[in-house]
Chains A and B, each alone.
Chain A
Amino acid sequence: MQTSILEQDGNMVAILEGRLDAVAAQETEKAMQPLCECEGKDIIIDCTHLEYISSAGLRIFLRILQNAQGKGQQVFIKNINDTVRAVFAMTGFINIFKLI
């Protein structure tokens, strides 16, 4: 699992690649920490190359969302594949996030 963070057009962008499962969760959450620390910027989680997400991954996304909402920031999730979309749908989280 690879996680890169960059600033793009005034937004914080996290690019995820691989399988975000229970094994990768801890390391990924650590890598995504700058998203929780940033102020005044919207957050984009680019999932173009995210193959799979587990409950542990969902919890990371939820923590980022909760933190951002508290500071008036928005969180967008970009380009999720069908497998990830199905997980978001069956857990009821699909309309909690802004999918782009």
Chain B
Amino acid sequence: MGTIITLDAHGEELMEQYRQLLPTLEKLNDEAYNQLKKSLDEQGIYVTAIEHRVKSEKSLAGKLELKGAKYKSIDDITDLVGLRIITFYSDDVDKVAVLAQRLFDIDWKESVDKRKLHELNSFGYNSLHYICRLKTGGPRFELQMRTALQHVWSTIEHDTGYKGDVKIPREYKRQFGRLAGMMELMDEEFSRLRLSITEYRRQTLSLVKSGQLDDVPLSRDSFRNYLETNPFDRLNRRIASVNQAEIYPVSMMSYLRVLEILGMETLGDIQRFIDENSEDAFQLAVAQLAITDIDILASNTALQYLCLVHVLKKGGGRDGLKKLYDTINGESETNTMLADLMYQQAATLPFMHKE
């Protein structure tokens, strides 16, 4: 059953102004949305949602009943038209804000960056609110910008916290605060992750740009640049996860000679060598490490297993492995033992039985 709202004379007058303004508000709602959507598309900013609405009569009545005296005229109410942009990443909120500043006239006195309102030791509703006006004039409207995680948090908090019938105990409020803190950290981590991926792409692309990877000859310099893109990290982490091992950073430059002997001539050859052998290298590493309690691995581990698998797949057998170990470790008869051990282990794996 709905609550009956009674407005005083001033409230009724504002409501009447609202009804007269409604067609203008509907147009504004569409126009502001269209301008934003077009601009986001042009700038290539992908967002999870753009919500937009004209405040309903019922919602306005509720507002006027509570604080109608605060408003002299309907123009003083700034959220009759409201838009909300929900972004994937926290740094996209700032991009959207810049875009909004270009598109609309911003009423800075009324706009709030709630992200900056928190005390140092508190977390909570993080959102950026702008009060805007179309460049062509007309009523003001509200634009909220927040990340998906901020949106989830504030929606749930609003749902459970502001029903008003019962005072929420301090411990529950604190729990909301803790969750908000966690969400803020997650937002930051997602942004950082995106940055790392972008950087990886940029570095690889610059190599590609300087010729395709296939056109970049394998040399000391090109291999060093290539290593900066951390091409073996993913496989290293996968192998390390078997024993929750620490990855100890070591230089991989000594493997340049190994790769040359294996016939790699370009960075493209190395990229294919990784793509084609990673799964089998992982299986071989697991076969060796899973039965041990070793929890530290050198960062060249993935590369070493890739080389071993490559030699075996090319039909190199025990002798091929011995030669490989001679190249990696220096020539020694003891490498025969390592080659035998590795060959026995590998013989049980599917890649050794493929035609």
Contacts of B325 in A (CB 8 A): 89
Which of A87, A89, A96, A99 has the most B CB atoms < 10 Å from its CB?
A89
Contacts of A94 in B (CB 8 A): 328-329
What are the interface flags for A73-93 relative to B under an 8 Å C-beta threshold, 1 for contact and 0 otherwise? 000000000100111011111
What are the interface flags for B171-206 relative to A under an 8 Å C-beta threshold, 1 for contact and 0 otherwise? 000000000000000000000000000000000000
Number of CB contacts from chain A to chain B under 8 A: 59
Q: Would you call B117 an interface residue if the criterion is a C-beta within 8 Å of the partner chain's C-beta atoms?
A: no
When C-beta atoms are compared, the residue in chain A nearest to B250 turns out to be A96
Known A85-B338, A86-B338, A90-B288; contact A95-B297, beta-carbon cutoff 8 A: no
Give the number of residues in B that approach A within 8 Å (Cβ atoms).
28
Contact at B337–A99, with CB atoms within 8 Å? no
**Contact of B294 (CB < 8 Å), options: A87, A95, A96:** A87
Contacts of B254 in A (CB 8 A): 95
Contact at A89–B338, with CB atoms within 8 Å? yes
What are the interface flags for A45-62 relative to B under an 8 Å C-beta threshold, 1 for contact and 0 otherwise? 000000000110011001
When C-beta atoms are compared, the residue in chain B nearest to A94 turns out to be B329
Contact at A91–B301, with CB atoms within 8 Å? yes
Contacts of B334 in A (CB 8 A): 82, 85
Contacts of A86 in B (CB 8 A): 337-338, 341
Contact at A93–B298, with CB atoms within 8 Å? yes
Contact at B328–A91, with CB atoms within 8 Å? no
Contact at A91–B298, with CB atoms within 8 Å? yes
What are the interface flags for B289-308 relative to A under an 8 Å C-beta threshold, 1 for contact and 0 otherwise? 10011111111110010000
A93 to B246, CA, bound (A): 13
**Contact of B328 (CB < 8 Å), options: A82, A85, A87, A95:** A95
Contacts of A91 in B (CB 8 A): 294, 296-298, 301
Contacts of A54 in B (CB 8 A): 293-294
Contacts of B328 in A (CB 8 A): 94-95
Contact at A85–B337, with CB atoms within 8 Å? yes
Which of A62, A86, A92, A94 has the most B CB atoms < 10 Å from its CB?
A92
**Contact of B297 (CB < 8 Å), options: A85, A92, A99:** A92
Q: Would you call B248 an interface residue if the criterion is a C-beta within 8 Å of the partner chain's C-beta atoms?
A: yes
Contacts of B300 in A (CB 8 A): 92, 95
Contact at B304–A92, with CB atoms within 8 Å? yes
Contact at B337–A92, with CB atoms within 8 Å? no
What are the interface flags for B245-256 relative to A under an 8 Å C-beta threshold, 1 for contact and 0 otherwise? 100101000100
Q: A36 to nearest B CB, angstroms?
A: 18
Contacts of A90 in B (CB 8 A): 285, 288-289, 292, 294
Q: B299 to nearest A CB, angstroms?
A: 7
Which B residues form the contact surface with A (CB < 8 A)? 245, 248, 250, 254, 285, 288-289, 292-301, 304, 325, 328-330, 332, 334, 337-338, 341-342
- Can you offer 30 A-B residue contacts whose CB atoms are under 8 A? A54-B293, A54-B294, A55-B245, A55-B293, A55-B294, A55-B295, A62-B248, A62-B296, A82-B334, A82-B337, A85-B334, A85-B337, A85-B338, A86-B341, A89-B329, A89-B338, A90-B285, A90-B292, A91-B296, A91-B297, A92-B250, A92-B297, A92-B300, A92-B304, A94-B329, A95-B300, A95-B329, A99-B329, A99-B330, A99-B332
